[in-house]
């Protein structure tokens, strides 16, 4: 949809659309406070401002909207055919990397009580595993901050995809 169409939705429909970008009801209710928006950047800015006010429970609510990475078959499907645009070749994720990624995701969930959140766009299985290995040693508080930052990055991508520039 265009920015004009988003502005014309009205508050309730904007809320519904925003929930598809981030599964936090209070956040989705706060973002339209900045409407009508003059640009997609203004929507993103309102989204960031609303996210900055998120409580721990709201952050965890947003995390719960993501699928848990624990299923080896889902990981295989996600990383089986990652094309490299520069080299024009298909790269397949190593099975041992996928198994470690699955196991580290389970360990992360057990340690912190929430799933590993990262903006995965453009990242290989190996890069995801390296990030997970790096972050699993953090405290719960650090990971709430890291996860919240990554959640906003994901949300921004989704908003920009949803509200196309005119």
Catalytic positions, written as ranges:
66
Tokens of 166: 């005119």
Q: Hey, is 82 helix, strand or coil?
A: strand
DSSP per position, 4-30: HHHHHT-HHHHHHHHHTT---HHHHHH
Residues 6+ apart with CB under 8 A from 42: 34
Tokens of 32: 């339209």
Distance CA 132, CA 148 (A): 15
Tokens of 136: 């699993």
Residues 6+ apart with CB under 8 A from 153: 119
Q: Hey, is 53 helix, strand or coil?
A: coil
């Amino acid at each position: 949809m265009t920015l004009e169409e988003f502005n014309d939705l009205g508050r309730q429909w904007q809320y519904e659309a925003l929930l598809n970008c981030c599964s936090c009801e209070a956040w989705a209710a706060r973002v339209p406070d900045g409407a009508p928006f003059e640009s997609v950047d203004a929507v993103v800015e309102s989204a960031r401002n609303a996210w900055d006010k998120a409580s721990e429970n709201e952050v965890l609510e947003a995390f719960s909207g993501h699928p848990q990475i624990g299923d080896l078959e889902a990981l295989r499907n996600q990383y089986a055919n990652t094309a490299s645009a520069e080299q024009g070749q298909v790269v397949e994720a190593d099975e041992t990397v996928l198994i470690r990624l699955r196991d580290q995701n389970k360990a992360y969930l057990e340690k912190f009580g929430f799933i590993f959140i990262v903006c995965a766009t453009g990242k290989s299985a190996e890069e995801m595993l390296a990030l997970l290995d790096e972050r699993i040693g953090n405290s719960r508080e650090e990971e709430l901050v890291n996860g919240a930052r990554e959640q906003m990055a994901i949300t921004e991508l989704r908003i920009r995809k949803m509200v196309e520039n005119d």
